[in-house]
Amino acid sequence: MTGLWLQERVDGVSFKVFVQPRAARNKIIGVHDGALKISLTAPPVEGAANRLCRDFLAKTLKLPKGRIEVVGGLKSRRKTLLIKDFSATELSVRLQEYIDG
């Protein structure tokens, strides 16, 4: 996977996300400065974009919402997410079609 920052942890894998709020539709755009760039329809207020980011990625990666957590950058466009009980390899494989395709 080209350029995406991933970190294996005991409890799963963490990675960087760059969120573009108030977009026309929810979409993985690609990799931007080591982060997975995602456009989201939600505004960046009261955690709406964080919730939609988690929900959108859970649906896209075919995972339960509870396995994905925003662990850094709660009030920033640059966030760190954790997918519990998941590996960097699994994440790379599932994101492959969105990033390289």
| Domain at 63, CATH number | 3.30.1200.10
pTM of this prediction?
0.91
Residue 86 domain-assigned (yes or no)? no
* Residue 67 is assigned to a structural domain of this protein: yes
Q: pLDDT tens digits for 50-84? A: 999 999 999 999 999 999 999 999 999 999 999 99
The reply to whether 38 falls in a domain is yes
Query: What's the CA gap between 25 and 4, in Å, rounded?
Result: 22
**What Rg value do the Cα atoms of the chain yield, rounded?**
12
Instruction: Tell me the average pLDDT across 10-29.
Output: 96
Residue 98 lies in a domain: no
User: Around Cβ 50, how many Cβ atoms within 10 Å?
Assistant: 20
Q: What percent of the chain has pLDDT over 90?
A: 85
pLDDT at 6: 94
Number of structural domains found in the chain: 1
